[in-house]
Structure formats: C-alpha cells, structure tokens
Amino acid sequence: MNTEPSSAGPEPASLQRIALSLQYEGSSFCGWQRQRNGRSVQAVLEDAIAQLDPHRPVQTFAAGRTDAGVHAAGQVVHFDCSGPIPARKWAPALNGRLPSTIRVRESVARPLDWHACYSATYRRYRYTIHNGRRPNLFLSPWSWHRYQHRLDASRMRDALNTMLGLHDFSAFMKAGSRRAHARTTVQEVLVERQGDLLRVEIQASGFLYGMVRLLMAQLVAVGEHRLSVAAFERRWREQRRHEVKEAAPATGLCLLRAGYAEPIFTKAGWYDCQPWFFLAESDPPPDPPSTPG
C-alpha cells in the first residue's frame, strides 16, 4: 500500500514524526498517491509541508491509498520533520497553505517507529447511497443516486454478514493489484437506512485494490433483488471475478478512519468526521420485484 520506510543510519536527535488526521474531498484529485499525470492529495500535501520545513526532503505515508474521486474523513498520514514547529501547530500551519478541498483536523507527535500504514489495525470505509426518486444537487458529490427501486437494506445486511472473518476476496479485487494475495479480515459491517439515505460501512484489517466499489455494486444488486444473497456469497467464496462486472461510483465512497492499538488523536479530531444528515422520504421509489434466494 505504501513504500517501506528506508533503513538508514541513526536519525538526527531533532527529528520528530508527525501524525495528521486528514480530510479531503476526492473529486478534484487523481487519488491519494503521487502520480506522474494528475493532481494527487499526496503531492499537494507534501508541497505544503516542504514550504514549512524546506531543509529536509518530504515523504508522507498514509493509512490507506484511496483511488481517484474517493473522499476521506479520517485519513491518517505521517511524515518526519526537523524544524522548530511544535507538533500541534502543524495542523493550522498546513491549513493555511492547503486548498479548501484538503483539511488537517489534528496533528500530533508520534515515536519514530510508529507508522501510519503498518501500525494500523483496521481501516473503515463508508459508502452512502441516495435512494430517493428525485435527484438532490447537494447530495450528488457525496453519494450514489439509485432511484429505480427502494433498496432492501435487510437483504444487503445479510449479504455483507457472510463476509465477516478472514477470507480470500479475489472476486472483489481490480486488475493491476500488486498484492501477493487477496486475503483480508472483515471485522465489522453495517447497513443502516435513514429516510432516503443508506449508509454501508465496512471495517477490515486492509482492503484490496478497488474492493469496496466492486462489492458495493454487487450489494446494490442484492438490495434491488437482481441478485440473491446466496449468489452474492458464491461469487466471492468461489472467487468468480468474471461475474463481477461493474463498480459503484467513487462519489459515494469515503475512508471514514483508520484505527490503532492505542488512541492517536482526540475523538473529535478523528472519529466519524463525515457528517451524516437525515433525509426524510418524500417520494420513495417502488419496491423491487421479489426474487428467489
């Protein structure tokens, strides 16, 4: 997911490691990771850090590598610096140099052997679906508008529950991944409806390349009764990647947070930082036709 830190010699005594709780609106970026062609969150953040600590090469490491268009409410990033800025002052200093689509909620000092990616025990993603019949301009940048049928949240929940535990999820991994295997542990799942909005949350030890968007498209098919829960489970258990032919849009996906063995940030600066608004039903779509299974 991220490049291993180098095993160089002893670090200067003044070196400090800074951890950031980071938010970004992903639609204007090609993803987290720096790329040759495209504006990445990593490149913009590193440029801002370099303005404040120009005497040291800047390299950032993130808990999760989000793809193009994917948002983050509680991404965790670390970098090393040698300047005089206190850890807690990095957040306001960076916010004064970052675009409005990136915000640092909190900055703290960490030991030099702590790593934003490798020290993480879980990542949690939220996918938001707008299930009302009429479009809503203010929801469209943050959700997937599915208006054809009223989604069956109970069936979607049953389908997700089959994924709990350590499994091979090759069926939900995009081509081009450099991972040696497709095993990961799904720790918690949640499907909740509030009016016309559905939130789906998945917490795992790690995620495969494109995993959440691929499984969300399958999950919506379950909720619309186009795919049975049993067929959903067969697809991932039997690694039927050829049957997973579409991915959900990036707009609905948000990296909610990454977790660690001990608290890193205050709860206000890190936990559930994507607002959740209630949208009452006004004109719900029709119930889907019943299907077996």
Catalytic residues: 67
DSSP code of residue 290: P
Query: Rounded to an integer, what distance in angstroms lies between the CA atom of residue 114 and that of residue 201?
Result: 27
CB 208 within 8 A of CB 241: no
Contacts 24+ apart (CB under 8 A), 35-40: 38/68
Name the token pair of 208: 């495969």
Kind of pairing between the strands at 61-62 and 144-145 = unpaired
CB 119 within 8 A of CB 151: no
CB 126 within 8 A of CB 143: no
Query: Rounded to an integer, what distance in angstroms lies between the CA atom of residue 3 and that of residue 32?
Result: 13
